[in-house]
Chain A
Amino acid sequence: DTEVTQTPKHLVMGMTNKKSLKCEQHMGHRAMYWYKQKAKKPPELMFVYSYEKLSINESVPSRFSPECPNSSLLNLHLHALQPEDSALYLCASSQAPGYEQYFGPGTRLTVT
């Protein structure tokens, strides 16, 4: 069963708030990813975790802070976001880097 879960489904936050997005997979995958997707655009890679270590940071602003507590969990901590950060945030996982990635349903974030 290829399933990646994400919580919350929707999030509205002010520019001074701190919030966290959560992602979980139970497929034994060793790579996990965060993507950002704006309307009518493709997903854009933000971070890659490989074997629980951050291996790629696509020059994402420091107001986004990823964390990988264990091989099944991936969090994205948010602080002092801007309205232009409003987007769909997608988590994905794969057996290892380079393999096909499976996406969670996403968190739709609105920054007010």
Chain B
Amino acid sequence: DAGVTQSPTHLIKTRGQQVTLRCSPISGHKSVSWYQQVLGQGPQFIFQYYEKEERGRGNFPDRFSARQFPNYSSELNVNALLLGDSALYLCASSLWGNEQFFGPGTRLTVL
């Protein structure tokens, strides 16, 4: 069975640009959560989507947005990139928010 997949694996952007990250959950999972992991720290919650609706939002600015599609895949968008947005962005899927399975992440570098 395929696990959670994320694309791209690596991305380099410059300050002020916009980025879109993609996530495909495990087949049958309807909940997708996004996390940001800065080097040397634990992941921090950004968003949760369940059945295409936002169910939770972490302490991140409005520059961060996300959506979930009818096939339960999800996109995370970040506008007006700052140097501090450089991190590993993780997507996790679950049946309804409990036991979460993580993808390999997208490494974003902002120059």
Q: Do A and B come from one complex?
A: no
